[in-house]
Amino acid sequence: MRIVRNEDGFVLPFIAILLMALFLVGAIILDVGSFYLRHGELQPLAKQSANAGILKFVDAMEGKAEQNKSAFCNVEEPPAVCSSEDMFDFLTSGEIVDLVSSPTVQEAVSDASIAFLTMYDPQLIIGNENIQITFPYEYEGVSELQIQVIISDAPQRFLEGIFPVTDDEIQVHAISYIATPF
């Protein structure tokens, strides 16, 4: 009973407990902060990677248009359309659909997106297992010429040892598209 009433050295254990609580708060601040920072890095990266993928598809369309143009315009008196710089003047909607459905083109688009992500991730830690590319990506049937990039990443957590929460993954989505006149 005397022990309970004895207030000797009361502040020291009190502060020790308080300090632990404060350090916990600090770790939470760091965890949440690094989570948001990584999310801030990944979101534009996903968008730019989707752009890189769609540009690869533009390459394929330009290649096909160039091929058609030389076949169509290499004559003695080429028609007026041959002076056009617009690739869509030398492509049909069917040819674009063929390109979209071609596994080679799909792979090239996907590879371009992945290459951008792995090369230009500011922390250089994204691996193929963190990336999901969908091309062509159909969104409410609007267009076939869309690409979707999903990146998943789990930032390093200071509290991992204390609270082993598993659903702490960052996931960002981005879509890029190219509009055609068809």
Partner 1 sequence: MKKLWQDQHGQALGETALLLPLLFLIVFGFLQLGLAIADKQKLLYVTNYAVQVGSLSNNDLKISGAIEEFYDGNDITFQIESHDGETGNVILNTNRKYKDILTVSMQKPFFLTIPFLDVAVNDTQTTSSAKVLCTNLTPPYTCE
Query: What track of x and - describes contact with partner 1 for positions 4 through 33 (by CB under 8 A)?
Result: ---xxxxxx--x--xx--xx-xx--xx--x
By the rule CB under 8 A, 116 interacts with partner 1:
yes
Q: Toward partner 1, which CB reaches closer, 40 or 78?
A: 40
> In terms of Cα–Cα distance, which of 145, 133, 151, 146 is closest to 182?
145
Site for partner 1 contains 120 (CB under 8 A): yes
Which of 94, 103, 122, 164: binder of partner 1 (CB under 8 A)?
Answer: 122
Least distance to partner 1, CB of residue 78, Å: 24
The residue among 15 and 125 lying less far from partner 1, judged by its C-beta, is 15
Q: Does 119 bind partner 1 (CB under 8 A)?
A: yes
Part of the chain binding partner 1 (CB under 8 A), chosen from 75-83, 116-124, 145-153, 158-166: 116-124
Greatest Cα-to-Cα distance within the chain, rounded to the nearest angstrom: 114
Sign, Cα dihedral of 117, 118, 121, 126: positive
Among the candidate windows 3-11, 67-75, 76-84, 89-97, which touches partner 1 by CB under 8 A?
A: 3-11
Q: 11: which residues sit within 8 A by CB, 6+ positions away? A: none
Burial status of residue 116 (CB atoms within 10 A of its CB: 0-12, 13-18, 19 or more): buried
Q: How far is Cα of residue 115 from the mean position of the Cα atoms in its chain?
A: 11
Minimum Å distance from CB 26 to partner 1? 6
Q: Where are the alpha helices (DSSP H) in 6-151?
A: 11-73, 93-101, 103-120
Question: Which tokens sit at 67?
Answer: 């091929």
| Least distance (Å) between residue 142 CB and partner 1 | 20
Measure Cα distances from 157 to 22, 24, 113 in Å. Answer: 17, 12, 28
Residues engaged in binding partner 1 (CB under 8 A): 7-12, 15, 18-19, 22-23, 25-26, 29-30, 33, 36-37, 40-41, 44-45, 48, 51-52, 55, 59, 116, 119-120, 122
